Structure 1
Amino acid sequence: MAPSSLSAGPRADGELSLLELLQLVHRRRWLLLVGLLLGGLGGIGVVALVSPVYVAQALLIIEPDRAGRGGPTVASASDTLDSASVDSQVEILTSRSLARQVIAQLHLETDPDLTARPRAGLLRLLLGETTSDAAAHGDLVGRFLDRLAVKREGKSHVIKIAYRSGDPVRAAEVANKLAELYMVGQLSRKFDASRRQSGWLQERLAALKGRLDASEAELARFRAASGPVLGEGFAADPGEIAGLNGQLVAVTAERAGKEAVLDRLRRLVAGDGPVSTLGELGSSPLLDHLTALKADLLRREAELAAQYGERHPKIVDIRAEKAKLEARLQQERQALLRQFEGEVDRSRAKERALARQLEELKSKALQREQAVQRIRELERAVELDRRLYEDHLARASAEEVPETIRAPDARLISEAVAPTEPSFPKPKLVLSLSLTGGLLLGIAAMYLAEAGERGFRSARDVEEVLGLPVLALVPKLDTRRSGLPPQDYLLERPRSRYAEALRELLASPLLRRPAGAGGKVVLVTSSLPREGKSTLVLSLARAAAAEGLRVLAIDADLRKPSLHALAGLKAGAGLVEVLRREVPLAEVAAVDPKAPVRLLPGSQRLSQPTRLLGPEGLGALLMGLRPNFDLVLIDSAPLVAVADPKLIADLVDAVLLVVRYADTRREFCRACLQSLIDIGAKPAGVVLTQTDQRRHARSAAHDAGVAAARLGGYYRD
């Protein structure tokens, strides 16, 4: 039965058992041994070839000289012993200037450690050295600093000075000399600071006095220049500014209202609007008289229009008189409109006068405020300069330069002594590290070698990953030595491993024909091309024919048929023509020249596989062939390439999956098998082709090893 689901790996829990792990180590033991050998030889080489290195160290403690300090003006790097101050002393100890002094006093220009060529990169890494660019290019000071190690001991105020050298005495001399020159340099800096302090204070006082005088002069000069601005004439009452601002707002509103009315009246006058809307223009005796006359004319026109027709002379005269009267009315309205425009102009002039008056008051107030602000700033500057001058004057009066030389801010608590044993190399440590590295290298090589093999290497691998039994392990043939292709190897050497593997496959229930039933139809497919599928079909057909079975081999690969070429037949009409009913089956079916096997070759024509390989095409053909043959083998295209095998899978009794030994990736096989299961196919088993017998014997699988070696006498390859 086909599995309903596929496992994701070789184990449900994804882990190897202890026995499998031991088998893996045994199989890859040479990689592990080579890694250990390389590690051991590397460690021995380091111990034998590397010159010994001695490290001498001295200890300094940073302690500020507070008792001997005469005043606060003599600065020291360690006034406040915080972490940054101690770290700064570490940087001073590793400075290039201090290194030059040590080199000059100890005459290290010819020291072999500093004049020798830099070590190789791997040896520098083992020794813990970090060569700078300057040291690599022959800088003597840079090489000296590369051998010097200065660091702070934890969070304390203790600094360790360590120096590496091939001479233990020289290493101690350098560490002690560096500490000595550092403390001498501190004393020298303190003496110079005390000697310069007095002159510096006098210069500082003179500069501050001049700055104070300049600030006071600037204040007096600005007050004199700002006298008119600060007078009563520039004083602006806030109430006056507020009153003017209120008047300006009222006038502006009045002007805006009149302008709006004026604009509306202009449009009404230009359009001769109704009399009721023109009342805002005002009135005059003449305009009232003209309006009364117009009303009388309109009344008379209405009476005459009721008695006479539209063209009556009286009506025409009234209309002419009305037009003249209307012109007079328009002239009078224009005159009143001009009077209203004058009122608007007077409102605008009043608004501009108020705006100018308000702007002048604001400008005077702003000038006065700026002047007052500037005077306050100058007064603050004068006060600040005066306080600074008085503070320095008090310090200069209280300062007393000490006559005695102060003690340094550091002292030596442990001088360096010549070491008796080298710090590197240490044979036990080097050998243990090298062997550990060799072991890790061997394990990494074993892992990479094992991870690189993603194919199936045993029947158990197939069963655990795919859930299918392995029906046979077909060995890989050396065709160049034998001169025989695999499909002919069975005929020439019937007692070979290859022939026995095919007979084992024939004996499986997959190919066994039930009693009283028709011929068995088996689909042979693979995940990818070049897995030996077509060769297996022809070889298996010949093996079955040699056992007396009636065998038919069908080449159902509609894209790249190959059975006819393997059997030595010429290309011609094939399966496509038979399924399209263009050529009878009897004319297309051929006989294998080397065995009693009937062949239905593929066709060079490409047609629609969905129609030809369905139940009405290939299915009907197989139903007619079952009674006439004991075994029908169908060679199809790979599952990953096309969908043809999935169409045929529903028409056969069983599906045989061909997998190339240690080559086809497990992910491809798992995906292809799952695709068959999804369509309801019946994958019955797997055949591992091109099995490397020697490699399989070394894999420690249950179907390899000693048993396979003992059975070798039964075969004649």
Structure 2
Amino acid sequence: MREIRQIPSGSSLPDTQWQPPYYDAAPPPDPSQEDTWDVVRKIWRRKWLVMGITFGFIVAGAGTAMVMTPRYSAEVRVLIGLPDPNVANIEAVLRTILPNSETTQSEAYVISSREVARKVAYRLALDKSPEFNPALQPKEGWWHAVSPSRLLKELVALIAPKRNDSAAVPTADSAPMTEEQRLEEHIEAALLNRIEVTPLNRSHVLGISAESQEPVTAARIANTFADVYIEQQLMRKQRATDRANAWLQTRIGELQQTAHESDRAVEQYRRENGLYETKSDTVIAQQMGTLNADLVAAENAKADAQVRLAQATPRLNNPGDVDSLPSVLQSPLIATLRGQQAELERQAAELSSTYTSKHPKVRDIRAQIKDNTSKIKEEIERIVRGLRHEAKMADDRYTRITARMEQLKRQMGQSNDMTVKLRELEREAQANRTMLQTLMQRSKETVDQREIQTSNAEIISYATVPRNPSFPPVTLILVMATLVGAGTGILLALLLENLDRTFRTAEEVEEYTGLPSLALVPIVRGRSKAPGHVVKKPYSTFTGSLRMLNARLSLANENSAAPGGVMMFTSALPGEGKTRISSSFAQLMATEGQRVILLDLDWKRPNLHRMFNQPPGAGLADLLNGDITPEQAVYHDPASGAHVMFAGNVGRFPGYVAWIERLRMLLYTLSRHYDLIVLDTSPALLAPEVLHLARLVDRTVLVVKWASTPRRAVSSEIRNLYSVGGRIAGVVLSQVNPRRYRKYGYDDAGYLNPRHLVHTAG
């Protein structure tokens, strides 16, 4: 609060040399510095506004819900991902549905497709329902176009995402749609807008929810969607099975012909290239094995013959060595001849002992021995020749086998090259036979599987006929209307509070102006407006507020217990109650024993004579013009004892300088006879003479109407008064509504309560 210089009571006139302090209106409070309780208080002060707006929104929401066409919702639940029954231990021809979140969502899109919707619409004959066929709906009046339900539907249609279905959009090359096709498209679109398929939580169960104006229709739509989906899935699997079976049959026929041709090609290639086979290997391979064994035997025989021949050849010149040859020793003929040779030699020996060498017997024995020896020699020579022949035969046989082996090797190389091609043909033929066998088995299994084909989805809960409508959501609408209404009311209340640039509390006055708040004067209504209120009702709230004004003025005056001297009541704008306050304050001071005179200087709108129920007559203006004496200009109030000078004839005045100087002298004279001089002036912003009067008085009391006078007007008036040297004692808030003030004031609201005032007076 800024310090205000005061003039001591009893001084004649203000010091014209005193310089006023610089004044600048305090800035408005920063909303960011407001705490939560300040916001709550603002809302509480406007609680009736908030409640009224909220109630209006609730009524509007309830009315909207009442006029909207009700719709019923029914839900059927479908479990997907059931496995196919595998009667045969084979791999399934059709892959079963994998139970995962992606598949579940995909199946949800399948259920809400146009193909399913078209079948549902046909099965339920929705083209004969007025709900889906616009041609069967009754004609609506103009009031339906502006109904809340129609506006809400259009709003939802604008906000809701549109379905992107290529089947519903005709291409540029397609023929124009007929009326029947347009109707079908409309029914399908309307049906899809009223169906919703959602996975339930984290399960593999799909909830199919349908809405309709009729509860039975809603249940039928939901159940039919589920039935059509199950049937469509089963038909799709059967069609796939039929296609697979047809493809298998076609492929089997092709493979049979291919396998036959492959086998014929293998056999023909064998015949053309001599690739004959036994049970284990080809002929050439078997010949190679046999010939290899013969070659080894021939090689061994050749070696043996050559060894025997080598042993016999050097011994031919030495008969003794020949006898030791194995072939000779093993010859039975030589053994016989040698036995005969031994016997002949024995006989010869016996005969030699008896006869002479010329004896015929001796010569005969000798001839036999010689003949036997020749035979042995011839046999040995024959054996040697046989060894040579055997060696030559073994060598020839070895040579022939070696040549044959080389020939077979060359044939084996060629055969291996041809065998590679043969194996390729055999593998191809075997693959064709294997594929043919597999497909024939698969074909039989597919035919058997078709008989037990089942759907991978199952309806676990059919939709029942709903009892209560699901649309409109009355509770949700009312809750949303309440929240929106309360939010709108709160925002409007805060907006009004922040846009309110008037004074509501004493704290606001002191923070904004820097001046003390002297009193809160309540509004006076009805009979209380009669003159003499402070005299007739000394313990009223109005009188108590004036006593508070007197107390604060007295405490502000350091030299006197009473606010004596010249006091001016002014305001920034008309109608702020300064005349009633000034007159009532003068009356109150008079009842407390002071000599008080009240001057009506509001020459713009003189109203003081009405406060005392007096007709307009001579007064202050006439006194300043010299037309009447001071005694004629003064009115004595019999109720309070205060003296009053009414405005008088304000039609003619001398110049400003003249009447200001005369008023100065009048105030000087009156100050000698009265303890308190109260001036009721015009609003400062409308009467420039108030600035002159501000320099003549001891203190100025600024009257501001509560919750009415703009703050800028008050700050402008204070700035003008300070600029001319006026001494402002403080601000009085007038016409305060005590009940409403309690919403704003806290510490200083007690004395506005009449009960509290009576208790204090007692």
Q: What TM-score do you get using the length of structure 2 for normalisation?
A: 0.47
Q: Which has the higher contact order (CA 8 A, sep 6+)?
A: 2
Give the greater-gyration-radius structure (CA): 2
